[in-house]
Amino acid sequence: MEPGSCQKLDTTQKSLREIDRLKQQVINERRLRRKSWDEMAVALARLKDMAAKASQAKARENHLQEEVEKLKRRRAFDSRKYLEEDTIPALQVAHQMRVQELKKELEDVKFGLLNRTKRIICCHKIQLDQQAKAKQDVEDEMRQVREEKTSLLL
Alpha helices (H) along the chain: 5-75, 81-153
144 half-sphere exposure, CB direction, 13 A CA radius: 10
Q: What angle do CA 116, 120, 123 make, to 5 degrees?
A: 140
* Number of structural domains the chain divides into: 1
| pLDDT tens column, 43-100 | 788 888 888 888 888 888 888 888 888 877 776 555 555 555 666 677 788 888 989 9
pLDDT given at position 79: 57
Point out the least confidently predicted range of 38-47, 93-102, 104-113, 115-124: 38-47
5 within some domain = no
48 within some domain = yes
3 within some domain = no
Average pLDDT, the chain: 80
Residue 75's domain spans which residues? 10-153
pTM (2 decimals)? Answer: 0.35
Strand, helix or coil at 50? helix
